[in-house]
């Protein structure tokens, strides 16, 4: 099995003051090679589109009509040879193309048949997102494809099952397929879809106007079609008794720490999902070594490599990279700020400040909401995160961006608040 090449750049201040134990590094991972495309290889990819057809999708009628159009638009983007299927979701889940629950092979005829099936979709019933995910899991695991991706659309809350049911379904699907989630309108819950997208290494976003669904679905499917290698993990070795966290910090903040699987007490694998040629992501690795060294001591704080799943077991991609710590009494070295680490630490804080501020606003705690959203404004201003700054302006009036002095707007559109919430984790990269 031929796998593409990856490169990794590690950026950190390797010098620690006497007594210090914490190492922070930014790992920039880039897929530079291309996995070979072949006719046989095309069937290694599988796609499932999950469309909410609950009763609320019929009000207004344009919502289900635009959902049909979006599903058809996504089907048009699927490459010949790729396995695909469509699921309709209500208080239960049903395969509506192919109707027998299998996956069809994309081609002119099957794409046309799928779009005819889409045209027959009618709204009715409740919402049980966990049931939809379980059916997708069943259908994906019945097929040998390793690159598995789903798109899930809903307009409402997960009311036809318990929160535990949804959590169990998400757990079942972890590591089996990735899932991009979209909420149309403003009656769905950001937290519910974020639980799905975070665990299944996908994205979550709001489409406030149903007319925007088709373009969004086409873009998501096109991005998925660009993936060439599945199940890439960051493998991190650390000294015995060290503690570690790992977060993706670009293009979005996603904490991977709890997703660690151990192959050895000192070695953990963190899933990063599927990759396409030219794709680059940044990760924040933090290691607390078990003890501080003496001045002049040098320690290997972490060894990082990339591994991909293969029929013969995990295969290491490229070389192993080292994160080194050196203890010094030179304050000019130990207090030197690494701009890349500082930037992403700020971006992580930005996402947290937005979510905490919005929650305080929902709870009616004006002082905390203004303090946290003000901090978010200051961080967005400092880091040049213009998109997030624009979203914040829909929720607060900015008195002074540099100091984070803001006032809550008296009236905020639900769609604007939800857009800020869903996009709070999107980051900007440092300029190299």
The arrangement of secondary structure in 41-225, i.e. its CATH architecture, is 3-Layer(aba) Sandwich (3.40)
- Count other Cβ atoms within 10 Å, centred on residue 218: 17
CATH classification for the domain delimited by 6-35+230-330, as one of 3.40.50.10210, 2.60.40.3670, 2.60.40.420, 3.30.1490.100? 2.60.40.3670
Place of tokens 């939809």: 132
121 in Cβ contact with 84 (< 8 Å)? no
Task: Provide the b/e sequence for 410-429 (b: ≥16 CB within 10 Å).
Answer: eeeeeebbbbbbbbbbbbbb
6: which residues sit within 8 A by CB, 6+ positions away? Answer: 29, 30, 31, 32, 33, 232, 275, 306, 317, 318
Contacts 24+ apart (CB under 8 A), 255-264: 256/283, 259/174, 263/235, 264/237
Domain range 339-422, CATH class: mainly alpha
- Closest to 387 in 3D by CA, of 332, 422, 428: 428
Q: Please give the pLDDT value at position 36.
A: 53
pLDDT recorded at residue 4: 73
Q: What is the pLDDT of residue 225?
A: 95
Tokens of 416: 């604007």
Domain with CATH 1.20.120.1690 in the chain: 339-422
- Provide the Cα torsion 411, 413, 418, 424; round to 10°: -60
Q: Which two tokens stand for residue 75?
A: 């089907």
Q: How many CB atoms lie within 10 A of CB 58?
A: 16
What pLDDT, on the 0 to 100 scale, is given for residue 374?
98
Residue appearing with tokens 């403003």: 186
Q: Which residues contact 129 (CB under 8 A, 6 or more apart)?
A: 89, 152, 154, 158, 161, 166, 169, 192, 196
Residue limits of CATH 3.40.50.410 in the chain: 41-225
112: number of Cβ within 10 Å: 11
Domain with CATH 2.60.40.3670 in the chain: 6-35+230-330
Local confidence pLDDT in tens for the 432 residues of the chain: 467 789 999 999 999 999 999 999 999 999 986 655 544 345 689 999 999 999 999 999 899 999 999 999 999 999 999 999 999 999 999 999 999 999 999 999 999 999 999 999 999 999 999 999 999 999 999 999 999 999 999 999 999 999 999 999 999 999 999 999 999 999 999 999 999 999 999 999 999 999 999 999 999 999 999 998 888 999 999 999 999 999 999 999 999 999 999 988 899 999 999 999 999 999 999 999 999 999 999 999 999 999 988 777 788 887 899 999 999 999 999 999 999 999 999 999 999 999 999 999 999 999 999 999 999 999 999 999 999 999 999 999 999 999 999 999 999 999 999 999 999 999 999 765
CA-to-CA separations, 101 to 35, 280, 305, in angstroms, rounded: 30, 35, 39
Residues 6+ apart with CB under 8 A from 363: none
């Amino acid at each position: 099995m031929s796998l593409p090449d990856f490169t990794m750049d590690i950026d950190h201040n390797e010098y620690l003051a006497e007594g210090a134990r914490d190492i922070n590094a930014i790992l920039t991972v880039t897929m530079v090679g291309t996995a070979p495309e072949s006719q046989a290889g095309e069937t290694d990819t599988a796609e499932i589109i999950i469309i909410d057809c609950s009763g609320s999708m019929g009000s207004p009628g344009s919502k289900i009509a635009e959902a049909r159009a979006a599903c058809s638009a996504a089907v048009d983007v699927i490459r010949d040879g790729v396995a695909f299927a469509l699921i309709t979701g209500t208080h239960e889940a049903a395969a509506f193309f192919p109707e027998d629950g299998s996956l069809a092979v994309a081609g002119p005829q099957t794409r046309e048949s799928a779009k005819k099936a889409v045209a027959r979709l009618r709204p009715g019933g409740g919402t049980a997102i966990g049931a939809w995910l379980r059916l997708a899991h069943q259908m994906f695991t019945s097929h040998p494809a390793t690159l598995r991706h789903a798109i899930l659309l809903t307009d409402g809350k997960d009311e036809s099952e318990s929160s535990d049911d949804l959590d169990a379904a998400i757990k079942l699907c972890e590591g089996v397929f990735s899932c991009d989630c979209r909420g149309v309108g403003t009656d769905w819950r950001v937290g519910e879809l974020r639980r799905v997208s975070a665990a299944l290494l996908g994205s979550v976003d709001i489409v406030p106007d149903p007319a925007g669904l088709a373009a969004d679905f086409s873009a998501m499917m096109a991005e998925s079609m660009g993936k060439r290698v599945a199940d890439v993990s960051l493998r991190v070795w650390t000294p015995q008794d060290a503690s570690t966290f790992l977060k993706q910090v670009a293009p979005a903040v996603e904490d991977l720490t709890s997703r660690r699987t151990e192959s050895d007490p000192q070695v953990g694998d963190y899933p990063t999902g599927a990759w396409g040629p030219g794709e680059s992501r940044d990760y924040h690795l933090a290691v607390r070594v078990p003890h501080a060294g003496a001045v002049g001591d040098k320690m290997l704080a972490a060894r990082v490599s990339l591994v991909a799943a293969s029929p013969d077991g995990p295969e290491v991609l490229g070389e192993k990279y080292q994160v080194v710590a050196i203890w010094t009494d030179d304050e000019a070295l130990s207090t030197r700020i690494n701009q890349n680490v500082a930037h992403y630490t700020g971006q992580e804080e930005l996402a947290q400040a937005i979510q905490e501020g919005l929650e305080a606003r929902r709870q009616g705690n004006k002082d905390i909401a203004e303090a946290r959203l003000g901090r978010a404004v200051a961080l967005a201003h400092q880091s040049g995160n213009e998109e997030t700054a624009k979203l914040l302006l829909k929720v607060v009036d900015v008195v002074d961006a540099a100091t984070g002095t803001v006032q809550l707007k008296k009236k905020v559109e639900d769609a604007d608040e939800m857009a800020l919430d869903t996009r709070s984790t999107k980051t900007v990269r440092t300029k190299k």
